[in-house]
Every structure is written in C-alpha cells, then in structure tokens.
C-alpha cells in the first residue's frame, strides 16, 4: 500500500488586499508530497511560487491572506491551527530555508547563538545538549564546528545557506520547504549545495518542497515537478516525464528558454509577452495571450488539470487527446 502523503494541499487560495480589490496570487492549488520525496516547484518570477510556500508554512503576513483551501501536514490542517499550535510544529516537524541566508540570519549573532536560540525556543535547556547538537548539524552540512563562533558576514554565500539548512535540520523534521536557496550562489556552489541536500535527504529521510525558477536544477534533483503560471498549477508529474514530454505549452516554453549541454546547439527562445495582471486576469486560459497553439475556446473556457499518462496539464488541447480519456 502507498504511504500517506506528508503534505496534502487542496484548493489553496491566497489573496492580497489592495486599494483596487483583492489580487489572487495563488488560485486553487493542489499538490501532495510523499515521505522522503523531493518535489520541485518552478515558474517565472511573480507566478505565486513563494506565496504558496509561505502559505503552506503559515508565514504569510498582511495584506496576504489564505482565503480558501486546506494544508494537511501529518494529518493536521495547518490552516486552522493557532499560532501557539503552529510553534510546536515548526522546526520540529516542518522547517523552512529562506531564499537569502544573509537576510534570514541575524547579522549581529554568531551561528552558534542562533542555533542555541532555536533549540531553547523548543525546550532544549541543557548547555551540553545544545553544544553537541550544534556541532552535529554543522558537521552534517560540511561546516567545521569552529564556525559556531562566526558571524554570518564572515562566511561565504554557500556556507551561509548550509548554516540555514543546518538550522532547519536541528530537530530532524519530516518536511523541509526551501525557497530558492541557491538563487544567490554561483553554479559551482549551487551544485555543491544541491548534492549536499540530496545526501542529507537520503540519510535522514525528510521530504523536500523546493521552489525555484531554475529548470536545470530540478531536472537533476527532483522526483516530481509542479509548474506554476499566474497563480495556478499548469502541469504536474514525474520530473523526467515533464522534461521528456511536456503537455502544457508553458512548460515547453520554459524548457526552450534554457540551454542544454547535450545534443545539437540550438537557438534559445523566450516566451513572448508577459504574465497577466492577477488583479484582472483574462477570461479562459491565463496563458492564452502568450500561447503559440491557442485555439478559439482558450479565450473563454477555463481549463481544468487534465490527466495525461503519469502527468497532468491545464490545457484545452489535451481534451481531445485520447490519453486524457476526456470527450
């Protein structure tokens, strides 16, 4: 029997209150993450990836608000939890690695002091236990424990990010959510960090939700992939399936926009146009104004997420496909 998902998100909707009315940044998102699974979430800047992540972790602040949906984590709905209940879950069972470690870490406190504060906040009182665990998690991420006395500005970008990961792993959580942790790193440091994350995941067994705009990263490291556009999931499926046979034109556009080190050289093609205004989204398919294969119904009929083999895509052209089993 398949294991129950660690994370099960259904109909998640997030709106930002503005003077001209609500802006729906995340619109009815469904996703799930199994034990020990690596789920990648990709899409252009502004597509709702980070907002969705913060909603799942219940870290949204006004004017953002969850207006619909459920976030079931280990059988409990995080959306209905109080702040006191959430504080018990965060870090111990679910932790978050922020996008910029230089901003997320306290610049006037040493790495050791920040690890100590986190453990004290969750009930660890013994000085020996705090020190031993701090040394242990730094070694886990490949940092010499001597840097417990270092301040964030004394570390390289990669070491700061690994320090954030060490903090996220203090209590061996079931799920770690990562918001573009490699965006400020060079390609060598990116790969080193990703290999480290995968090794830790294999060793400790935690699940990962990895938000990024870098398709090449998730192609090598994720098990399943979710592609977001204009606040919606437009494609989801096993990573290799999405890369080898993308079923949504937007996914194909993303793949055409980054180079491959294999095969013949080819011209890179961007996606023409720009994402829609989420305060006033177009009727029908949100990708229709930019889509190279748009058909008449796309501009007035809202597509669902249609199953296609192992994947699913939000495209009306899939309705006529025999693989979907529709119409």
Q: Please, which residues bridge with residue 9 across strands? A: 31, 71
Q: For residue 31, what are its two tokens?
A: 């996703």
Rounded Cα distance between 197 and 237, Å, is 22
- In this predicted structure, the answer to whether residue 326 has a pLDDT above a threshold of 70 is no
**Sheet (strand 306-308) strand order:** 94-97, 175-179, 207-211, 38-42, 224-229, 232-238, 311-313, 306-308
Cis peptide before 63 (omega within 30 of 0): yes
Q: Please, which residues bridge with residue 73 across strands? A: 7, 76
pLDDT band at 193 (very low <50, low <70, confident <90, very high): confident
User: What is the rounded (10 degree) CA torsion for 160, 149, 196, 173?
Assistant: -90
Classify 9 as helix, strand or coil.
strand
Is the residue at 32 inside a domain?
yes
pLDDT in tens, 114-157: 999 999 988 899 999 999 999 999 999 999 999 999 999 999 88
Closest by CA position to 251, among listed 274, 271, 235: 235
User: What is the rounded (10 degree) CA torsion for 132, 138, 141, 147?
Assistant: -160
- In this predicted structure, the answer to whether residue 109 has a pLDDT above a threshold of 90 is yes
pTM above 0.95, yes or no: no
Residue whose pair of structure tokens reads 């009727």 in the numeric block: 283
> Which of residues 1 and 72 earns the better pLDDT score?
72
User: Which H or E run contains 192?
Assistant: helix 187-204
- In this predicted structure, the answer to whether residue 1 has a pLDDT above a threshold of 70 is no
Is the residue at 106 inside a domain?
no
Residue whose pair of structure tokens reads 């919606």 in the numeric block: 232
The pLDDT value given to residue 232: 96
Is the residue at 152 inside a domain?
no
Is the residue at 124 inside a domain?
no
Is the residue at 186 inside a domain?
yes
pLDDT in tens, 286-295: 999 999 999 8
Backbone region of residue 28 per phi and psi (left: phi > 0; alpha: psi in -120 to 50; beta: other values): left
Is the residue at 197 inside a domain?
yes
Q: CATH number, domain at 207? A: 3.40.50.300
- The structural domain count of the chain equals 1
pLDDT band at 35 (very low <50, low <70, confident <90, very high): very high
Rounded Cα distance between 320 and 303, Å, is 13
Rounded Cα distance between 42 and 224, Å, is 11
Separation of first and last alpha carbons in the chain = 32
Is the residue at 282 inside a domain?
yes
User: Which H or E run contains 94?
Assistant: strand 94-97
Closest by CA position to 180, among listed 57, 304, 53: 53
Q: For residue 92, what are its two tokens?
A: 């111990």
The answer to whether 279 touches 268, Cβ cutoff 8 Å, is: no
Is the residue at 311 inside a domain?
yes
What's the mean pLDDT when you consider all of the chain? 90
pLDDT in tens, 240-260: 999 999 999 999 999 887 776
- Between strands 175-179 and 38-42, the pairing is unpaired
> Domain span at residue 220?
7-93+171-318
pLDDT in tens, 51-95: 999 999 999 999 999 999 999 998 899 999 999 999 889 889 999
């Amino acid at each position: 029997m398949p294991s129950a998902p660690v994370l099960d998100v259904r109909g998640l909707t997030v709106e930002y209150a503005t003077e001209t009315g609500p802006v729906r940044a995340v619109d009815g998102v469904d996703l799930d993450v199994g034990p020990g699974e690596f789920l990648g979430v990709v899409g252009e800047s502004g597509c709702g990836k980070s907002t969705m992540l913060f909603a799942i972790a219940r870290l949204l602040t006004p004017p953002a608000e969850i207006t619909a949906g459920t976030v079931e984590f280990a059988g409990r709905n995080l959306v209905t939890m109080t702040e006191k209940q959430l504080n018990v879950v965060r870090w111990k069972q679910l932790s978050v690695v922020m996008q910029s470690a230089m901003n997320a870490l306290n610049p006037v406190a040493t790495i050791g002091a920040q690890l100590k504060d986190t453990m004290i906040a969750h009930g660890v009182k013994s000085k020996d236990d705090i020190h031993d665990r701090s040394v242990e998690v730094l070694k886990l991420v490949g940092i010499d424990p001597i840097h417990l006395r270092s301040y964030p500005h004394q570390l390289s970008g990669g070491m700061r990010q690994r320090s954030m990961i060490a903090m996220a792993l203090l209590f061996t959580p079931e799920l770690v959510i990562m918001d573009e942790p490699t965006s400020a790193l060079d390609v060598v440091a990116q790969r080193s960090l990703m290999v480290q994350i995968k090794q830790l995941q294999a060793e400790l067994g935690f699940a990962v939700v990895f938000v990024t705009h870098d398709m090449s990263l998730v192609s090598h490291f994720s098990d399943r992939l979710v592609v977001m556009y204009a606040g919606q999931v437009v494609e989801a499926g096993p990573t290799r399936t999405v890369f080898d046979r993308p079923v949504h034109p937007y996914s194909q556009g993303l793949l055409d926009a980054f180079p491959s080190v294999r095969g013949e050289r080819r011209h890179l093609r961007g996606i023409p146009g720009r994402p829609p205004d989420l305060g006033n989204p177009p009727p029908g398919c949100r990708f229709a104004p930019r889509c190279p294969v748009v058909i008449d119904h796309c501009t007035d009929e809202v597509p669902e997420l249609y199953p296609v083999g192992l994947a699913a895509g939000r495209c009306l052209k899939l309705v006529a496909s025999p693989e979907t089993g529709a119409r």
